[in-house]
Amino acid sequence: MGTIDAFIFPVRFVRIISTQNVAGTLIIRFTVQGFPDVDSWPRTLTALQDYGKARLHDISARYGRYYPAVAQSDGLQIIETNSETARWAEVTNRVSMFDAFANSYFMMITLEYKSDRPAAQVAVSEDGIVVLSRSLVVVRCWFYGNKFHDDGRIIRIQSDENILRAASDSSYEIHSRYDDVEFWLHARQVTEKSRTILTVTLPGDPSRPGDLQTRISIPVVVKKPVLRRVGRGFLSATGASLVALPALLGTDAALTPRIIAAGVGATIIAIVTVFSS
């Protein structure tokens, strides 16, 4: 808004969590959400800037210096879609034309369990992404650049190996403008809830204008699954009951059932012990 060259272009939806005025500075906390549908926006830099200037002028003429930070207002209609990857590509295709990002790579990543189930998404909490202990997590990374630089650029993924251990290669060398790659991580067995920072980096070249480093840091919490703990507790109690059953039945009961009950109980306890280790 401070220059005659200013223009508007939507890149992401957010949900405002809180606002706080600290010594004249407004601090806004928000969570990032989906990507907007920008199919109607031009695909060339000059036309995109002109279109964005016209939209900004329409809004300013209507509301003056201050106007609502909403997706629907006079002169600007922004809608959200379900196709995250496609919309991310449409947004980055246009943003990469700006001089500030002309030589940079953009990345989008998702985390999900390695499972045959169609909806095996990880959970999200205030502490970060929550994954279950002893599970296999897939970090899928999409990247896009306006230009390809044949300089051996490498995507790397890092985390605390004591909490999240790499179950695949932890790096990938880029050989194209755009593609996607998967990294596998194994959540180690933990005795209590543990937290680490999962970092994905793609270096830039400081000597080249508009070639910025991409760095994504995600807090990940690994915890023991409640249902598994309950199941192990139930099986342990069942096994202990069967082991104690011969003594409860007394010597008047037949010997064979008592031996079978004790044997089955001991087997259950042994299985639970092995799979809990």
CATH number reported for the structural domain that contains residue 208 in this entry: 2.60.40.10
In a domain, 62, yes or no: yes
Helix (H, G, I), strand (E, B) or coil at 237: helix
- Which residues form the domain of 70? 1-82
The reply to whether 119 and 184 lie within a common domain is yes
Q: Give the C-alpha separation, 109 to 144, whole Å.
A: 12
In a domain, 36, yes or no: yes
Q: What angle do CA 48, 53, 41 make, to 5 degrees?
A: 30
In a domain, 87, yes or no: no
The reply to whether 147 and 192 lie within a common domain is yes
Residue 59: the pLDDT is 76
Q: Give the C-alpha separation, 242 to 113, whole Å.
A: 36
Sheet holding 136-145, edge to edge: 105-113, 136-145, 178-187, 164-166
The reply to whether 203 and 232 lie within a common domain is no
The reply to whether 195 and 255 lie within a common domain is no
Residue 173: the pLDDT is 94
Per-residue confidence in pLDDT tens, the chain, 277 aa: 345 578 889 888 888 888 898 988 889 888 888 888 888 899 999 999 999 888 888 877 776 655 555 555 555 566 666 678 888 999 999 999 998 888 999 999 888 887 655 445 677 777 778 888 888 889 999 999 988 888 889 999 999 999 999 999 999 999 999 999 999 999 988 888 899 999 999 998 888 888 889 899 989 988 876 545 545 555 666 656 666 666 666 666 666 766 676 677 677 666 766 555 5
Please give the tally of structural domains in the chain. 3
* Tally of CB atoms within 10 A around 160: 15
Residue with tokens 């270096």: 203
Domain end marker among 224, 243, 265:
224
In a domain, 91, yes or no: no
Q: Give the C-alpha separation, 277 to 47, whole Å.
A: 62
Domain end marker among 51, 82, 113:
82
The reply to whether 129 and 208 lie within a common domain is yes
Cβ atoms of 142 and 84 closer than 8 Å: no
CA-based nearest residue to 107, from 59, 77, 139 = 139
The reply to whether 239 and 174 lie within a common domain is no
Q: Give the C-alpha separation, 49 to 43, whole Å.
A: 10
The reply to whether 25 and 39 lie within a common domain is yes
The reply to whether 157 and 141 lie within a common domain is yes
Strands 123-125 and 128-132: antiparallel
In a domain, 190, yes or no: yes
In a domain, 89, yes or no: no
pTM: 0.69
The reply to whether 205 and 101 lie within a common domain is yes
The reply to whether 177 and 202 lie within a common domain is yes
Cβ atoms of 140 and 182 closer than 8 Å: yes
The reply to whether 180 and 210 lie within a common domain is yes
The reply to whether 265 and 218 lie within a common domain is no
Residue 145, judged by CB atoms within 10 A of its CB (0-12, 13-18, 19+), counts as buried
Residue 124: the pLDDT is 72
Domain end marker among 13, 48, 82:
82
In a domain, 90, yes or no: no
